[in-house]
Amino acid sequence: MKTLLFALLLVFITNVNGGMLSHAQEPPATEPVYRLLPSFINCTDIKTLDSIIAGYNEIPFSIGKGMILIPGGAGNFESQLRTYVNPDSGSFTIVLMLDQNAGCIVVMGKDFTPWMPDKTPLYY
């Protein structure tokens, strides 16, 4: 389980850092430019998801409809989006459900807090 979590974190950091570096080197555009973040989204059965989330003592926080774009212009995938948060540690997980039996960890993070416009930095 630790190996899986480490691999997920490594893939996420590698993909995010590469995307940020290439974005930082581009001159500002006059029109909005949208770029796809190359990433792997890891999906598994609900029992495994629940186990991962329980390992961080996260509790359900929000639910809604979410969407991810499918690479290559194939469209998008819409489904239930769940957010889990640990109010003590600030860890959080965002899951896009495939169906009631499986879902995908879209984002895992830390330092979850309410947005306070005068106090919250825009970027870390």
pLDDT along the chain (124 residues), means of 10: 47 49 56 70 93 96 90 81 96 95 94 80 61
Please check whether residues 95 and 63 belong to one and the same domain. yes
Q: What is the per-residue pLDDT for 4?
A: 45
Q: Distance (Å, rounded) from C-alpha 122 to C-alpha 124?
A: 7
**The pTM is what?**
0.66
Residues 58 and 24 in one domain: no
Task: Give me the pLDDT at residue 50, please.
Answer: 95
Does a structural domain hold residue 123?
no
**Structural domain that includes position 16:** 1-38
Torsion of CA 8, 106, 103, 39, to 10 degrees: -60
